[in-house]
Structure 1
Amino acid sequence: MVSANPVISSDRVEGTSVYNTSGDKLGSIDELMIDKISGQVRYAVLEFGGFLGMGTDRYPLPWSMLKYDTSQDGYVVPLTKAQIEGAPKYASDRVPEYDDTYSGTVDKYYGL
């Protein structure tokens, strides 16, 4: 079900839980990466792994892969934990340049 208002503030997206299609919680959205030219959200950065927020890595997920599920009050992605563990990632203090090379690596991993 789509909300009557399809627009949401980025601060409401950040912190939202992300689940796989089996209902397992994978993590939460740490931040959004927005294309400066088009203004479109390109990636939702998933905070995944670690324990109590320590040692977590950031995994950029193509925004087009996330579907909001009102029954879970979170986003659902068609990925397993193992698929995410093998995906491009970075530490929170080492944000990469989202240039064509890095974005291409992420998109290729997810088959886009």
Structure 2
Amino acid sequence: MLNQNKGGTMALQEKSYDVDNRTGTNHEGPYANTPVRRLTATSIIGDSVENAAGDDLGKIDNLMVNLNTGEIEYVVLEFGSFLGIGGKLFAIPFSELTLDAERELFILNRDKDYLKDTPGFDKAHWPDTNDHSYFNDVNTYWGSPRAYY
């Protein structure tokens, strides 16, 4: 940020994003929201998902929020579609994803073959999302320790 001092010369001052973050004032710059602690749902939906090798695993189609706890429990990952056509949807525990804030995408530590063999569903036939046994099956499949009753 440039400011003019009393002598009329321009002085370079460091911008304090910590203050902006605490006050809610809009801020700018490549590290304005670092470290990332919270994101809007609309900034997550549509994000790309890759594995650690950089393989494209799809995009986040939707989020499943537990209305009792307020947690995002699952993302709905769309895999294998072209321009939104075809493909398969998966419920994946949100805890399986890691944010790569610099690249603005999520990392899922699985390979494409794992997803090809993973039970999923299509856009026209969603599972019963209020059925605890469905999500317990998903948790078991992904190795997540959480169980819902």
With normalisation by structure 2, the TM-score equals: 0.70
Alignment-derived partner of residue 133 in structure 2: 101
How far apart, in 1, do the equivalents of 2:36 and 2:122 lie?
Answer: 34
Superposition deviation, residue 5 in structure 1: 5.1
Asked if the contact 2:36/2:101 (under 8 Å) is kept, the reply is: no
**Mapping for residues 31-110 of structure 1, pairs under 5 Å:** 31-98=62-129, 99-110=131-142
- Give the number of the structure with larger relative contact order, counting CA–CA contacts within 8 Å between residues 6 or more apart: 1
Aligned partner (choices 39, 53, 56) of residue 25 of structure 1: 56
Which runs of 5 or more residues in structure 2 are unaligned? 1-30, 145-149
Root-mean-square deviation (CA), in Å? Answer: 1.7
Alignment-derived partner of residue 111 in structure 1: 143
Larger Rg: 2
Which runs of 5 or more residues in structure 1 are unaligned? none
How far apart, in 2, do the equivalents of 1:18 and 1:4 lie?
Answer: 20
- SS of residue in 2 equivalent to 1:106: helix
Asked if the contact 1:49/1:56 (under 8 Å) is kept, the reply is: yes
Asked if the contact 1:87/1:106 (under 8 Å) is kept, the reply is: no
How far apart, in 2, do the equivalents of 1:82 and 1:103 lie?
Answer: 22
- SS of residue in 2 equivalent to 1:44: strand
**Mapping for residues 8-19 of structure 1, pairs under 5 Å:** 8-19=39-50
* Structure with a larger share of its residues in strand: 1
Whichever residue aligns with residue 141 of structure 2, its letter is: Y
What count of residue pairs does the alignment treat as equivalent? 112
How far apart, in 2, do the equivalents of 1:5 and 1:68 lie?
Answer: 9
The list of structure 1 runs, each at least 4 consecutive aligned residues, that deviate by more than 2 angstroms after superposition, is: 1-5
How far apart, in 1, do the equivalents of 2:97 and 2:64 lie?
Answer: 14
Which whole-Å deviations, capped at 9, do the CAs of 1:72-101 have from their partners, x for residues lacking one?
Answer: 220001101111112221111111112111
Whichever residue aligns with residue 111 of structure 1, its letter is: G
Superposition deviation, residue 9 in structure 1: 0.9
